[in-house]
Amino acid sequence: MLAATLGLTACGNGGANNGQSNAEGKSNNSDPNAPVKLKIMWQGADIRHQAMLKTQEVYTGLNPSVTFSPEYMAWDDYWKKLPTLAASHSLPDVLHMDGAYIQEYATRGTLEDLSDIDLTGVIDEKTLDNLKINGKLYGIPISRNAQGMAYNKEALEAAGIELPKKDWTWDEFFDFARNARAKLPEGVYPISDTDTWDFYEYYQMGYGKGTIIQEDGKKFNLDKDLFMKFYGIFAEFRDKKIVPPADMVSAFKENDPQADPMASGKVMTRGATVGSVGALEQLMPGKIDVVNLPVGPEGGGWAQPTIFLSVSTDSKHKDAAKAFIKWFVTDKKAGETYGTNFGIPIYDDVYNAIEPSLAPKEKLGKKLYDTAKDKALPFSPAAAGWTEWVDNYKKTMDAVLFGQKSLEEAYNDISKSGNALAEKLSKSSK
């Protein structure tokens, strides 16, 4: 109750130098020192938990009236618990959001619009615009992410295969696979087969045909020619054993020590993000390197934030929550406290302060980001309501991999369900 009156207008003096953002509270006629307990929830591993707890301690040190009631867990449990909390209107004040989920939560009214947090000079306008959903900013990005590829440098060099180069084209990617096949031993494959929608979408976007899901899920756009061409090449690769057989592919599980396509030694390359490449590095220390995704005439891959802090509409302390988030992203001391535990910090000043102390796996992540940045296209997550279509895309393509469906049938199934869904969503929004 007290917190609702705290009224910290975070859009005060902007810039990055305010470790004392609570002072801005005076714009409201309330007592800035009235105690507030912020419920805060995030996911991750223990190092991140410790860093986050420490950061909250620092904040409370600077703003004694604000204390925290933290709740933290690992990724899976976090996303399992959140819907139930939303259903009972007990979402925490501040919560961790992810690019894969924010659309669902934002469009369904569980998150607060944070556009009024002034981030001038901290995050550039273009990045923020990319992140907006229906023109509103539902999460403040805290780190950078990018999509690229990892490859087994050690094994490729040993086999005398030319390593992938930055900004390689899709044709070069396919040629790499064909050439490498001849030089690799049997049972080891240059690239893996593909069954997920995003990998094909990079191809479609690279060739200028746009994203598959458009207008917040109300328009569906699957280019038949590119679809047939792309998967036609993979069909050829399947025949020539350039990609592994279907039952091997369906056994792959990324970052699992025994089932990861690369860590198991079966495949030389795979997709990787800034966040996941560090895990792969742990599995095969010193053996891997990174490159950006193959590019088309328009570019390829993406490089933008996917981790956010959001404020829930259930919150009774919205202003205090916003003030904390702003401090978290813009304050150097905050950045030094949590370091790279949320990825590469978004704010350059914060990043530069911690750069000298990066671990090898973090350097690899940074390298991936830098490589991907130049040719990056916008990140296009599935819109709200599309998770099931995404699952079915994979199932349909798996049927193609196992030879149970023709490519033509797969195209028809996928586009039929996609069009139906887009139509349904555009109707319900009218």
Cβ 87 to other proteins shortest distance, Å: 4
- C-alpha to C-alpha distance for 243 and 177, rounded to whole angstroms: 9
CA-based radius of gyration for the chain: 23
Cβ atoms within 10 Å of 413's Cβ, excluding its own: 17
For every residue of 95-114, DSSP letters joined together read EEEETTTHHHHHHTT-B---
Q: Does 236 bind other proteins (CB under 8 A)?
A: no
- C-alpha to C-alpha distance for 331 and 20, rounded to whole angstroms: 9
Q: Does 129 bind other proteins (CB under 8 A)?
A: no
Q: Does 278 bind other proteins (CB under 8 A)?
A: yes
Report the residue number, 87 or 182, with the smaller CB distance to other proteins: 87
Q: Does 429 bind other proteins (CB under 8 A)?
A: no
Report the residue number, 16 or 368, with the smaller CB distance to other proteins: 368
Cβ 268 to other proteins shortest distance, Å: 16
Q: HEC string of 28-76?
A: CCCCCCCCEEEEEEEECCHHHHHHHHHHHHHHHHHCCCEEEEEEEECHH
Stretch of residues binding other proteins (CB under 8 A), selected from 163-171, 219-227, 228-236, 279-287: 279-287
Contacts of 367 (CB under 8 A, 6+ apart): 290
Q: Which of 110, 292, 310, 371 binds other proteins (CB under 8 A)?
A: 110
H/E stretch holding 271 reads strand 269-273
For every residue of 127-185, DSSP letters joined together read HHHHH-BTTB--SEE-EE-BEEEEEEHHHHHHTTPPPP-TT-BHHHHHHHHHHHHHHSP
H/E stretch holding 197 reads helix 197-206
Q: Binding string to other proteins for residues 370 to 409, with x set by CB under 8 A, is what? A: ---------------x-xx--x---x--xx--x-x-----
The interface with other proteins within residues 154-213 (CB under 8 A) comprises none
Q: Which of 80, 126, 240, 316 binds other proteins (CB under 8 A)?
A: 80
What does each C-alpha distance from 252 to 40, 146, 292 come to in angstroms?
35, 22, 22
Cβ 72 to other proteins shortest distance, Å: 7
Q: Which of 34, 228, 283, 358 binds other proteins (CB under 8 A)?
A: 283
Stretch of residues binding other proteins (CB under 8 A), selected from 138-146, 207-215, 248-256, 334-342: 248-256
Interface positions with other proteins (CB under 8 A):
43-46, 49-50, 71-77, 80-81, 83-84, 86-88, 90, 104-105, 108-110, 246-248, 250-251, 253-260, 263-265, 275-276, 278-279, 282-285, 385, 387-388, 391, 395, 398-399, 402, 404
